[in-house]
Structure 1
Amino acid sequence: MTQIATILARLGDPKHQLQHKELRQLNDIGRDACADFLTAWRTIGDDRRREIATALAALAEENAEFDFRDIFSTILTDPNPEVRAVAVSGLWEDERLSTLRLLIPMLADETDDDVRSEVALALGRFAYMATLDEVPEKEAAAIRDALYKSASNLDLSDEARRRSIESLGYFAGNDVTSLIGQAYTSGRQPLKESALVAMGHNLDERWLPVLDAELQSSVPALRYEAARATGEFGTEAEAMIPRLLPLAEGDDTEVALAAIWALGQIGGDAAKRVLKRLSNSDDPAIQEAADEALAEIALGDESFGFL
C-alpha cells in the first residue's frame, strides 16, 4: 500500500475524526501521486469524501502554506456534485493553465447547476487575467466562448446563467454588452443584480447612467451591486460621488460598506471628507472600511505624484 493510500485509508474511516495533522500529510502531493490518490479516493463513501474535501479547503484557506491544488484538480470528476463544488472553490486562487484547461470544458459538460455556477465564477478569475494579457490568446478565446454559451443558454438555471454573465462581463464586444443588457431588463432580480456586477467588470462608459439610476433603487441588493460596480470604474465615475455619499452614511450597513469601498476607488476631496468623518464611526466595520478606503486614496495620490 502506498503512503497516499495509507493516509486515505485512515481519513476514509467515517468513525475516525479528521485531524489537521493527518490532512497536512496531503499537502503538495504532486501530480505523480494523483493516480494513487484517485484509486484510494474512490474507495471512500460519498459523505466522507465531501467531509475530507471540505476540511482540506478550509485548511488551505486558513493557511496559505498548504497546497492541495493537485488534489482538487483530481477530484473535479468526483461523482458527488457536492465534492466537485468544493473542488472548484478550492481552486479559486489557482492560476495554472492546466487548471484552466480543466475548467473550460467542465462549464459545458457539468450537469449540476450549483457546480456549474462555481465553475463560471472560477473562470471569472481567468477572464480578468485575460484582460491583463496574462492568459494566452487561444485560452482567452476559449474562456470567452464557454462563458458566452453558458450565459446565453436559456435552458440553464438563472443561477448558472447569472454567474456566467458576471464573468463574461470582463470581455468586450457588442455580443457581451447585449447579453448584459438582456439580463438587466429580464425582470428577474438575480439576473439584474448580476448584470450590474458584469457592468463593473465590463467598464464600458455606457453603463454609468444605468449605475447612476440603480444607486437610487429602492432595492438594497441593487444599490449594493451598483455601488460596487461604480467603484470598479475608478476616477471615471467621479461624477457619481454625490450619489454614493448618502449611501456611505446610510442605515444599511452592507450598502454603506459597498459605497465606502467605491469612494476609496474613485477618490477626490469630497470622498475624503466623508471617509474621514466615517473613520470616527461607532460601528467598527464602517470605521475599518473608511480607513481602508482612505489608505487606498492615499496610495493612488502617491502613485500619481510619481507620474
Structure 2
Amino acid sequence: MKEEQEERAFAEILDEIFKAEPLPIADLYRLSDMAEADAAAFWAGWTAVSDDRRQAIVRHLADIVEDNFIVDFAPIFVSSLQDAHPEVRVAALDGLWDSTDLKLIAPLTKMMQEDADVQVQAAAAGSLGHYVLLAEWGQLPERILPNLVKAMLAVYETVETAVPVRRVLLEGLGAADDPRVPDLIVEAYESGDPAMQMSAIFAMGNSADRRWSATVLGEMESPYEEMRAEAARAAGVIGNSDFVPQLAALAYDEDLAVQTAAITALGQIGGDEVQRILAEMLDDPEIEADDELLEVVEAAIEEAAMMAGDFDFGDFLFDDDDDDDDL
C-alpha cells in the first residue's frame, strides 16, 4: 500500500512538473536519483511535454546543480543532448558543465563539430574547454588531451566556424599546453575584432602564463569596461603580484562588474599588501552600504587569508572590542 501511495505521489508530482503554472521548482528535486520505476514514468511523459516546457525544466535543473552538488540530474541532461529543441540542448550542456565523465567527450565533440545551432556548438566547445582545463590541472587523465585539443583546433581553424564558437574555443584552448596556442592568442588579440580580443585576454588568463602580464596590465586601463573586467579576471588567474596596484585602483572603478572582477582577482593573488587593501575596503562607507560588493570583498579576504595559511577570517571582520566581550 505504501509503495502504491509513493507511486501515486510521484505521478502527481510529474503531472505538476509537466503542466502546472508556474513551474513548481521545489518538485524538481524529486527528479534527482530517480528509482527505475520513477525514471520510466518520467521518460514516458517527457516526449509529450512542449518545447518551451522542456527548456524551462532543463534550465531550472541546470541552475539547481550549479549551487547544489548533492542532486544528480545527469541522466536527464545526457538524454537532452539529443533534444530536437536547441535551447534544451544548451541547457543540458550547462547542466553537465562540472561533469568529469570521459564518455561525454565524444558526443560533445560531435556537437561542437556538427550541431546546426551556433549556440549549441559554442556551449559544447565550452564544455570541452573545461575538460582541457581539468586535465591540465591533473584532475582528469592527460591522455585525453591530444585528441581533444586536436579536435578543438581543427574547428577553430575552419574558416566557416562562427565567431561565437571560435571565441569559446580560444578561451578553452588557452589552458592547453600546446605550442600552437600562443600564436593563436596573439593572432586573435591583434585581429582588430573587439570580441576576439576579449577572448584572447580570457585565454591569456586561462593559460596562467606570466608572459602575458604586460598585455593584461595594459588592458586594465582600457576605456571599455568589458575589457577592463576581462583583464582583471585574467590578472587574478595569472597571479602576478605586479598587478596589485592596478587592481586596487580598479576595485573602485565606476563599473560594478570591473569592481567585482578586480576585488576577486586581489583575493586570488593574495599576499600581505592585498590583505591590507581588502581590510581597508571593509571600512569604506560606500562598500559597507552595498551588500553585494561587501560580500565580494569578504570572499576575497577569505581567499587571500586561506592562501596565506591564515584561516581566522574573523580577525578581519571583528574588532578587538568584540574579543574583549567574549572574555
If the TM-score is normalised by the length of the shorter chain, which range does it land in? 0.7 to 0.9
Task: Name 2:308's counterpart in structure 1.
Answer: 301
Task: Name 2:226's counterpart in structure 1.
Answer: 221
- SS of 1:150 mapped into structure 2: helix
- In the alignment, the residues of structure 2 paired with residue 141 and residue 36 of structure 1 have an alpha-carbon distance, to the nearest angstrom, of 41
- In the alignment, the residues of structure 1 paired with residue 53 and residue 110 of structure 2 have an alpha-carbon distance, to the nearest angstrom, of 27
Moved beyond 6 Å, runs of 4+: 30-36
- Of 31-40 and 248-257, deviating more is 31-40
1:244 Cα deviation from its structure 2 partner: 1.9
Does 2:231 match 1:212?
no
1:14 Cα deviation from its structure 2 partner: 4.4
Relative to structure 1, the CA distance from residue 61 to residue 250 in structure 2 (aligned partners, 3 Å threshold; closer, same or farther) is closer
- SS of 2:124 mapped into structure 1: helix
Larger Cα-atom Rg? 2
- In the alignment, the residues of structure 2 paired with residue 130 and residue 247 of structure 1 have an alpha-carbon distance, to the nearest angstrom, of 32
> Which of 252, 255, 260 matches 1:257?
260
- In the alignment, the residues of structure 2 paired with residue 299 and residue 11 of structure 1 have an alpha-carbon distance, to the nearest angstrom, of 45
Contact conserved, 2:83 with 2:89, CA < 8 A, in 1?
yes
Q: Residues 162-210 of structure 1: CA distance to partner in whole angstroms, max 9, x if unpaired?
A: 0111111110223111111111112111111111111011122221111
- In the alignment, the residues of structure 1 paired with residue 293 and residue 61 of structure 2 have an alpha-carbon distance, to the nearest angstrom, of 33
Report sequence identity in percent: 32
Task: Name 2:195's counterpart in structure 1.
Answer: 190
Contact conserved, 1:100 with 1:123, CA < 8 A, in 2?
yes
- In the alignment, the residues of structure 1 paired with residue 85 and residue 106 of structure 2 have an alpha-carbon distance, to the nearest angstrom, of 21
> Which of 47, 50, 55 matches 2:55?
50
Does 2:103 match 1:94?
no
Task: Name 2:321's counterpart in structure 1.
Answer: none
- In the alignment, the residues of structure 1 paired with residue 37 and residue 110 of structure 2 have an alpha-carbon distance, to the nearest angstrom, of 23
- In the alignment, the residues of structure 1 paired with residue 30 and residue 86 of structure 2 have an alpha-carbon distance, to the nearest angstrom, of 25
1:124 Cα deviation from its structure 2 partner: 2.4
> Which of 150, 167, 190 matches 2:155?
150
Residues 280-291 of structure 1: pairs in structure 2 closer than 5 A: 280-281=283-284, 282-283=286-287, 284=290, 285-291=292-298
- Of 163-172 and 56-65, deviating more is 56-65
Structure 1 alignment gaps of length 5 or more? none
Q: Residues 16-54 of structure 1: CA distance to partner in whole angstroms, max 9, x if unpaired?
A: 653346533322237998787556433333223223222
Relative to structure 1, the CA distance from residue 268 to residue 136 in structure 2 (aligned partners, 3 Å threshold; closer, same or farther) is closer
> Which of 168, 171, 176 matches 1:163?
168
> Which of 58, 78, 84 matches 1:73?
78
RMSD over aligned Cα atoms = 2.8
Contact conserved, 1:257 with 1:289, CA < 8 A, in 2?
yes
Task: Name 1:248's counterpart in structure 2.
Answer: 251
Does 2:282 match 1:279?
yes
1:286 Cα deviation from its structure 2 partner: 3.1
1:8 Cα deviation from its structure 2 partner: 9.5
- SS of 1:302 mapped into structure 2: coil
What is the TM-score with the length of structure 1 in the denominator? 0.86
Relative to structure 1, the CA distance from residue 273 to residue 58 in structure 2 (aligned partners, 3 Å threshold; closer, same or farther) is closer
1:115 Cα deviation from its structure 2 partner: 1.1
- In the alignment, the residues of structure 1 paired with residue 233 and residue 298 of structure 2 have an alpha-carbon distance, to the nearest angstrom, of 17
1:70 Cα deviation from its structure 2 partner: 1.0
Task: Name 1:267's counterpart in structure 2.
Answer: 270
What is the TM-score with the length of structure 2 in the denominator? 0.81
- In the alignment, the residues of structure 2 paired with residue 19 and residue 238 of structure 1 have an alpha-carbon distance, to the nearest angstrom, of 48
- In the alignment, the residues of structure 1 paired with residue 253 and residue 59 of structure 2 have an alpha-carbon distance, to the nearest angstrom, of 37
- In the alignment, the residues of structure 1 paired with residue 279 and residue 191 of structure 2 have an alpha-carbon distance, to the nearest angstrom, of 39
- In the alignment, the residues of structure 1 paired with residue 36 and residue 175 of structure 2 have an alpha-carbon distance, to the nearest angstrom, of 31
Structure 2 alignment gaps of length 5 or more? 1-6, 311-327
Relative to structure 1, the CA distance from residue 216 to residue 55 in structure 2 (aligned partners, 3 Å threshold; closer, same or farther) is closer
- Of 28-37 and 136-145, deviating more is 28-37
Paired amino acid for 2:219: E
1:102 Cα deviation from its structure 2 partner: 2.7
